[in-house]
Amino acid sequence: VLLSMLGTFALAAPVLGHTAIPGQPTQPKATTPKATPPSSEMAASRFAPDQDTIRELRMIGDPAPPPLGGTMIKGDPITEWHAGGPTILLFWSPFVGGTEPHLAQLGDLGQQSEKIQTLSIASGPRSRVEQVLESLPGRAPVVPRTILDDTDAWRKAFIEPLGLTTLPAVVALDQNGEVVYHGPMNTAAMALARVCSNNWSSEGYRNTVLEYMARQQASIALVEIRGRVRRGQATADEAVALAEELIELDTRNGGRQISKFDILLTTADRPDDAYAYGRDIAARFPNNYLILNDLAWNTVSLPDVSRRDLDFALEMSRQANAIQGYTDHSVLDTMGRIWWLRGDADEAIRWQLKAVARALGTWHGDSTRANLDAYTNGYLKPGEMPPPYRSPRRQ
């Protein structure tokens, strides 16, 4: 139920009246500045894509076209965008199931607050559209103001330029009639709640999307450069430099720092530097058991490690397990691996039994059980690395 939370915020925005349609006398309209450069270093970095290529950001901050024509099925036509708060446009088709609850909630929202303008925009035969509206769920459902887009004007003005490919879809306009959000209805709940509570920033949204995309591209760049090093197309120093560039852009991202640790340990084959840097990471994230466990696990599991510092791994694993109270099967599994590589089969099996006792019955725990089998079935000697394992249940 994606619109149910919006009524909570319906009284938050001030009532400022209406904005007249183009060509009519009106007071000067407040203008919104053009999109500002991203404030996040990662969002403004070379890893961020061109904003024009991102479907989610199409028309964000741009004025919407004025309300368009069509056949009104329920309620009066909209001739102007509401200036007292946001306007919520719900695009739907009677041939796409599951829309009825959203329509009922849209109707309730439009009735509850004069500060939020709502409009349902349907495409399809009028008889089918009316049939859906007549059978909305609830004891006394409020049929939302609905227009039949029988000329395709709304689709051409919004759906096509915004690149929306899934119905039902939602478009949110601010009090200035500018597009501040759009997307599939099934992912819009939180965004619409913030729009309706006057707690939404189109520039903040732009920044968030760009930052997410930039992080994705940065992760790809790290994988690619390590492959290029293996093929002799780049140097290990270039891989380290790339990792450091990403850390500088995203200083609180512990995963990036783990990536640099991995590159130093394997790609660059600089184990002394890797373990020294690993201790720096541990000092920066002393209470993050996931990062501490990654340092330990990568030390004892990554291939192509010329020198595995098992004392370092044991120290990191003990810290991680202490934080978790020795209850996380994956962290206990790391401890078992460390003792196995140290050559102490009894201690390794003792820890691995603890890990298996905590492991999930799903494929997530299969590798933990496989490691116990490797330590107990006799085909592997203490100190030898177990072979890589992937659960056959994992898709």
Q: pLDDT digits over 152-175, tens only?
A: 999 999 999 999 999 999 999 999
pTM to 2 decimal places:
0.75
φ, ψ of residue 87 to 5 degrees: the values are: -115, 130
How far apart are the two ends of the chain, measured CA to CA in Å?
A: 30
Q: pLDDT digits over 310-339, tens only?
A: 999 999 999 999 999 999 999 999 999 999
Q: For all residues of the chain together, what is the average pLDDT?
A: 89
**Total number of residues shown for the chain:** 395
- Overall average pLDDT of the 177-186 stretch: 93
Residues 6+ apart with CB under 8 A from 44: 37, 38, 210
Q: According to DSSP H, which parts of 87-201 are helical?
A: 100-112, 126-134, 153-154, 160-162, 189-196
pLDDT value of residue 31: 42
Q: pLDDT digits over 102-133, tens only?
A: 999 999 888 887 889 999 999 999 999 999 99
Burial category of 53 from C-beta neighbours within 10 Å (exposed 0-12, middle 13-18, buried 19 and up): exposed
| Residue 38 reports pLDDT greater than 70 | no
CA distance 339 to 169: 55
Task: Please report which confidence band the pLDDT of residue 395 belongs to, taking 50, 70 and 90 as the band edges.
Answer: confident
Amino acid at 39: S
Q: With contact defined as beta carbons under 8 Å apart, do 186 and 2 qualify?
A: yes
Burial category of 44 from C-beta neighbours within 10 Å (exposed 0-12, middle 13-18, buried 19 and up): middle
Task: Please report which confidence band the pLDDT of residue 37 belongs to, taking 50, 70 and 90 as the band edges.
Answer: low
Express the helix, strand and coil content of the chain in percent, nearest 5 each.
50, 10, 40
Q: pLDDT digits over 331-380, tens only?
A: 999 999 999 999 999 999 999 999 999 999 999 999 999 999 999 998 89
pLDDT value of residue 32: 40
Q: Which residue has the tokens 């056949």?
A: 71
Task: Please report which confidence band the pLDDT of residue 196 belongs to, taking 50, 70 and 90 as the band edges.
Answer: confident
Rounded to the nearest 5 degrees, what angle is found at the Cα of 103, between the Cα atoms of 150 and 116? 95
Amino acid at 314: L
In eight-state DSSP terms, residue 383 is T
